């Protein structure tokens, strides 16, 4: 009895000490107290600036297709998870540093990203599309060269697509930290077009139906697949997630989540 109390006290004291030394005190403390239940809690990282896949409410809680899907996967795979919302820049590095264990954030699986991360089976398909603001008289891909500025989010596949269209160092490409800022550039006239994932652009157009946007499909842009990213060495966790994803598809939950966010 006494020994047990002492051990518990030691753990709590260590947790408090740890929390005091860490910039992210809140989550460190949670992580330490979670060990009492002997259950691993996986940190799921995302940049919740990407509706309808991930976004926040006024209280800062995350929602969206990816959140519903990840919750369903966690349930089917019996995994304890906790979300961490953070900038896109640094998200991939957060796996290696172990700030996060799992990333779900509308992340396109690319060969380059496979060099440093492992991906689940694909769970969603998109393409890059060009969203042109009203009155630009853009009909086709060729017309895009007429534009002065095209907004993209830094380090996304939309950024890479713009580089493909206009060249890696083109002054036409204006880069922003996240999707809301990229969209804002379009809305305020700083850019006449933006490039992003088709499902995200479609969601934006649907919610702003008063404006006359043109969505240009670029035949050269490939189909992209979203995957859940993990550290390459976490092969067991990857297998669990892939199994759970399959269960979520088989049970019809995937379909229900899809309908919730992409009903026409």
Residues that bind ligand ARG (CB under 6 A): 46-47, 49-50, 54, 88, 105-108, 156-157, 179, 197
Which CA distances in Å does 223 have to 163, 217, 226?
Answer: 17, 11, 10
Q: Which one, 31 or 227, has the nearer CB to ligand ARG?
A: 227
Number of H helices, E strands in the chain: 10, 13
Q: Which one, 108 or 203, has the nearer CB to ligand ARG?
A: 108
Q: Which one, 88 or 254, has the nearer CB to ligand ARG?
A: 88
At closest approach, how far in Å is the CB of 146 from ligand ARG?
Answer: 26
Report the C-alpha gap between 183 and 213 in whole angstroms.
12
At closest approach, how far in Å is the CB of 180 from ligand ARG?
Answer: 10
How many Å separate Cα 32 from the centre of its chain?
A: 26
- Cβ pair 39, 80 in contact under 8 A: yes
- Cβ pair 108, 123 in contact under 8 A: no
At closest approach, how far in Å is the CB of 24 from ligand ARG?
Answer: 20
Q: Which one, 74 or 162, has the nearer CB to ligand ARG?
A: 162
Helix orientation angle between 235-250 and 253-262, rounded to the nearest 10 degrees? 80
At closest approach, how far in Å is the CB of 242 from ligand ARG?
Answer: 19
Q: Where are the alpha helices (DSSP H) in 22-101?
A: 25-34, 65-77, 93-96
At closest approach, how far in Å is the CB of 66 from ligand ARG?
Answer: 8
Q: Residue 51 contacts by C-beta under 8 Å, 6 or more apart in sequence? A: 64, 179, 200, 203, 204
205-223: b (≥16 Cβ within 10 Å) or e: beeeeeeebbebebeebee
Q: Which one, 66 or 101, has the nearer CB to ligand ARG?
A: 66
Q: Which one, 45 or 77, has the nearer CB to ligand ARG?
A: 45
């Amino acid at each position: 009895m006494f020994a047990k109390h002492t051990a518990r006290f030691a753990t709590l004291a260590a947790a408090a000490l740890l929390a005091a030394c860490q910039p992210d005190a809140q989550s460190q403390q949670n992580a330490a107290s979670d060990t009492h239940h002997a259950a691993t809690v996986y940190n799921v990282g995302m940049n919740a600036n990407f509706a309808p896949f991930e976004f926040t409410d006024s209280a800062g809680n995350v929602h969206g297709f990816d959140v519903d899907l990840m919750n369903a996967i966690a349930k089917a795979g019996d995994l304890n998870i906790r979300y961490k919302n953070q900038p896109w820049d640094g998200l991939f590095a957060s796996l290696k540093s172990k700030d996060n264990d799992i990333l779900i954030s509308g992340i396109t699986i690319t060969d380059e990203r496979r060099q440093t991360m492992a991906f689940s089976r694909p769970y969603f398909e998109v393409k890059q599309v060009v969203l042109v603001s009203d009155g630009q008289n853009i009909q086709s891909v060729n017309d895009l060269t007429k534009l002065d500025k095209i907004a993209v989010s830094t380090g996304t596949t939309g950024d890479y697509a713009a580089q493909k269209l206009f060249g890696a160092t083109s002054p036409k490409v204006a880069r922003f930290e996240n999707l809301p800022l990229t969209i804002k550039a379009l809305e305020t006239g700083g850019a006449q077009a933006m490039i992003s994932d088709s499902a995200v652009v479609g969601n934006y157009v649907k919610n702003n139906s008063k404006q006359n946007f043109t969505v240009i499909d670029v035949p050269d842009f490939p189909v992209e697949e979203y995957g859940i990213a993990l550290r390459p060495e976490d092969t067991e966790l990857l297998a669990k997630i892939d199994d759970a994803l399959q269960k979520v598809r088989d049970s019809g939950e995937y379909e229900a989540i899809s309908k919730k966010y992409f009903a026409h």
